[in-house]
């Protein structure tokens, strides 16, 4: 064990047992910056201190800093153009890595955040805010220990997926998630808006999708209609944009289509006994037209020009295709030898349509079996027990986002004693497992340039309340963030825990019902979930 590790273990131990109140000695930022060094003394943010921006294109960033600081600490800053007194200076210059790099230099008199890009500046601001929120409030203001930081992201894709079909959480919960994603420098919000229990996206051309398909959820098929209107979606996109987060909708096909089929049964391809009406019908030309219309409307709504088309678990209902109208004919016309071939045909045809309106099509790892344009497709590897599917995707040249069920499915419990949440075999997605990703077997694949990044998926069959959702997300989101932003550089679980301990206080202050890995009894699972 290295000397520093021993030190962190001792710190963590003393802190856990409440015997030590430490001055900031280790960098309080999650994800850990690439390069960091503690400076001399501290910088004090006072009421009325100035955020200096020389360039008017940076005003929105200054306003974000101002609003966040006011909201969390009560201290009001001014935005100005000149250097007067102690100030936070935002500068668009400097050499940074990639589009997300920044430098943060602090002295007693000034904080300088610099980056050639606005995105980089945003991340510099977030780093500064994390330090500010954890600093003691004194009479004179907030005293923040000085640090000298140079930082940039290991991976371009740092994602979180939320399933709102199984249960619907609504705008306020989504904004809370976006706030914490930004706090942890995550930048892709994958929004699973359609699935078997409910369709949650208003489509003007097919209004019954929302008004009929939006009824019910996983717990209660009769639950009142819930979905996002076009205006709601725009509001969320705007909110995400202010936080440098890209929103990508998922419209799952050809499986997981039950809610849509309730609204427009004419496009159903049937299903199985366990999963009735699970699929869209690949044998009808009208189905492709209908789905293309839906994608076109979504393309106008979501500026990311990326669409996730699902493609997962079609096998659950594929037997329905044997008898679906037109499928046998399609197989003859296109010389498709079996239903698996029909599935590939469907994915290829819909990807083709989608690429006329989108820059990129995203799909779960089943789609690595199909032939798709590698420069415009992204594969999401989720079946941790099928490494061959990851290898196939990489060998074919597809860029891949890694979101293996173990450890990145946050619907799985994080403590063996937990009962609420998904449990299967001896699978456990504990904090140390998330932090410990990748294991040895995957480390080599991680060096492949086709790996775009990492993502955690929060499926919600078993998540009915906001509090439970928070419990599953926190603090695992912090471990995800360090893996996705920092990479394996400087990995040290004891140090991470040490920093995390202080972050739990921030969750508490924000009213988040988090799981406490240090003291599980402090926040138990709640009966009413
Ligand atoms: C698999 S991951 C699914 C989801 C479930 C999830 C539960 C994937 C592409 N499909 O439909 O919600 O497992 O953990």
Is residue 282 within 8 A of residue 330, CB to CB? The reply is yes
H or E stretch including 449?
A: none
Between the CA of residue 218 and those of 196, 201, 516, what are the distances in Å?
Answer: 8, 17, 28
More confident residue, 386 or 137: 386
Would the pLDDT of 15 be above 80? no
At 25, is the pLDDT very low, low, confident or very high (cuts 50, 70, 90)?
low
pLDDT at 86 exceeding the cut of 90: no
Contacts of residues 97-100 at CB distance under 8 Å and 24 or more positions apart, as own/partner, are 97/152, 98/152, 98/153, 98/156, 100/152, 100/153, 100/156, 100/185, 100/187
Tokens of 414: 């994080």
Q: In degrees to the nearest 10, what's the CA dihedral of 247, 253, 259, 262?
A: 140
Calculate how far, in angstroms, residue 459's C-alpha sits from the geometric centre of ligand 1. Answer: 7
246-253 and 188-192 as β-strands: parallel, antiparallel, unpaired?
parallel
- Return the pLDDT at 23: 41
Ligand 1, atom 8: nearest CA belongs to which residue? 312
pTM (predicted TM-score)? 0.95
How many contiguous H segments (helices) and E segments (strands) does the chain have?
A: 17, 18
- Give the distance (Å) from ligand 1 centre to CA of residue 529: 20
Residue 368 pLDDT exceeds 60: yes
| Residue 4 vs residue 293, higher pLDDT | 293
Residue 95: the pLDDT is 74
Task: Give the number of other Cβ atoms within 10 Å of residue 306's Cβ.
Answer: 21
How do 268-270 and 279-280 pair as beta strands? Answer: antiparallel
Mean pLDDT computed over every residue of the chain? 94
pLDDT of 275 higher than 80: yes
Lowest mean pLDDT among 3-12, 226-235, 278-287, 340-349: 3-12
Cβ-in-10-Å burial (0-12, 13-18, 19+) of 213 comes to buried
In the chain, % of residues over pLDDT 90: 90
- The residue-averaged pLDDT of 125-153 equals 96
Report which ligand 1 atom has the smallest distance to the Cα of 383: 2
Q: Would you state the structure tokens that stand for residue 347, as one six-digit string?
A: 């994915």
**CA torsion sign, 398 to 373 to 250 to 184?**
positive
In the predicted model, is pLDDT for residue 178 greater than 70?
yes
pLDDT at 217: 98
Strand ranges (E), 165-270? 188-192, 246-253, 268-270
Residue nearest ligand 1's atom 2 by CA = 382
Q: Considering only residues 103 and 445, tell me which one the structure prediction assigns the higher pLDDT.
A: 103
* C-alpha of residue 50 to centroid of ligand 1, in Å: 48
Residues with CB under 6 A from ligand 1: 312-313, 364, 382, 409, 411, 422, 459, 461
Burial 456-492 (b: 16+ CB within 10 A, else e): bbbbbbbbbbbbbbbbbbbbbbbbbbbbbbbbeebeb
In this predicted structure, what is the pLDDT of residue 8? 56
Please identify, by atom number, the ligand 1 atom nearest to the C-alpha of residue 312.
Answer: 9
**Confidence tier at 489 by pLDDT (50, 70, 90):** confident
The predicted pLDDT at position 21 comes to 41
pLDDT (0 to 100) of residue 444: 86
Is the pLDDT at 190 greater than 60? The verdict is yes
pLDDT of residue 509: 97
Which tokens hold the place of 307?
């669409």
- Using the predicted structure, report yes or no on whether residue 82 has a pLDDT greater than 90: no
Element (H, E) at 90: strand 87-91
Residue closest by Cα to atom 7 of ligand 1: 459
Taking the C-alpha atoms of residue 527 and residue 252, their distance in angstroms, rounded to an integer, is: 33
Q: Mean pLDDT, to the nearest integer, of 139-162?
A: 97
Handedness of CA 123, 124, 128, 131 (dihedral sign): positive
Q: What is the pLDDT of residues 406-465, one digit of tens each?
A: 999 999 999 999 999 999 999 999 999 999 999 988 988 898 999 999 999 999 999 999
Task: Pinpoint the alpha helices (H) of 212-257.
Answer: 230-241
Q: Which pLDDT score is estimated for 13? A: 53
């Amino acid at each position: 064990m290295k000397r520093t590790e021993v030190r962190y273990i001792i710190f963590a131990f003393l802190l856990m047992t409440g015997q030590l109140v430490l001055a900031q000695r280790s960098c309080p930022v999650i994800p850990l910056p690439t390069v960091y060094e503690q400076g001399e003394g501290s910088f004090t943010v006072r009421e009325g201190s100035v955020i200096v921006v020389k360039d008017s294109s940076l005003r929105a960033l200054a306003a974000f800093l101002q609003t966040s600081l006011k909201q969390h600490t009560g201290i009001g800053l001014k935005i100005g153009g000149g250097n007067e007194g102690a100030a936070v200076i935002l500068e668009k210059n400097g050499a940074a890595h990639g589009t997300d790099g920044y430098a943060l230099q602090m002295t007693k008199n000034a904080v300088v955040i610099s980056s050639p890009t606005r995105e980089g500046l945003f991340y510099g601001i977030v780093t500064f805010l994390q330090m500010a929120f954890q600093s003691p409030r004194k009479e004179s203001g907030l005293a923040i220990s000085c640090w000298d930081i140079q930082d940039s992201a290991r991976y371009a894709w740092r994602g979180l997926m939320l399933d709102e079909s199984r249960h619907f959480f609504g705008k306020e919960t989504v904004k809370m998630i976006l706030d914490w994603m930004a706090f942890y420098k995550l930048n892709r919000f994958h929004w699973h808006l359609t699935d078997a229990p409910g369709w949650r996206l208003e489509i003007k051309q097919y209004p019954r999708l929302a008004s009929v398909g939006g009824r019910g959820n996983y717990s209660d098929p009769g639950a009142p209609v819930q979905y996002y209107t076009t205006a709601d979606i725009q509001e969320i996109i705007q909110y995400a944009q202010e936080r440098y987060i890209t929103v990508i909708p998922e419209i799952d096909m050809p499986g997981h289509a039950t809610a849509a089929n309730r609204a427009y049964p004419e496009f159903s391809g049937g299903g199985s006994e366990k999963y009735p009406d699970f699929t869209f019908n690949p044998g009808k030309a009208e189905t492709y037209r209908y789905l293309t219309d839906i994608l076109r409307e979504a393309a106008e709504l979501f500026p990311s020009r990326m669409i996730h088309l699902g493609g997962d678990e079609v096998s659950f209902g594929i037997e329905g295709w044997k008898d679906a109208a037109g499928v046998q004919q399609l197989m003859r016309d296109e010389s498709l030898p079996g239903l698996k071939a029909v599935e590939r045909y469907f994915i290829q045809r819909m990807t083709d349509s989608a690429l006329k309106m989108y820059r990129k099509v995203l799909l779960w790892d089943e789609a690595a079996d199909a032939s798709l344009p590698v420069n415009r497709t992204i594969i999401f590897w989720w079946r941790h027990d099928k490494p061959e599917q990851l290898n196939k995707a990489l060998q074919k040249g597809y860029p891949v986002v890694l979101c293996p069920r173990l450890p990145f499915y946050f619907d799985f419990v994080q403590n063996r004693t937990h009962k609420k949440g998904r449990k299967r075999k001896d699978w456990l997605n504990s904090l140390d497992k998330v932090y410990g990703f990748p294991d040895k077997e995957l480390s080599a694949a991680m060096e492949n340039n086709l790996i775009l990044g990492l993502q955690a998926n929060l499926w919600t069959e078993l998540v009915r309340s906001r509090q439970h959702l928070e419990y599953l997300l926190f603090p695992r989101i912090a471990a995800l963030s360090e893996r996705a932003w920092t990479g394996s550089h400087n990995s040290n679980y004891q140090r991470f825990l040490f920093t995390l301990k202080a972050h739990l206080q921030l969750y508490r202050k924000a009213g988040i019902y988090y799981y406490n890995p240090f003291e599980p009894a402090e926040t138990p699972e709640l009966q009413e979930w």
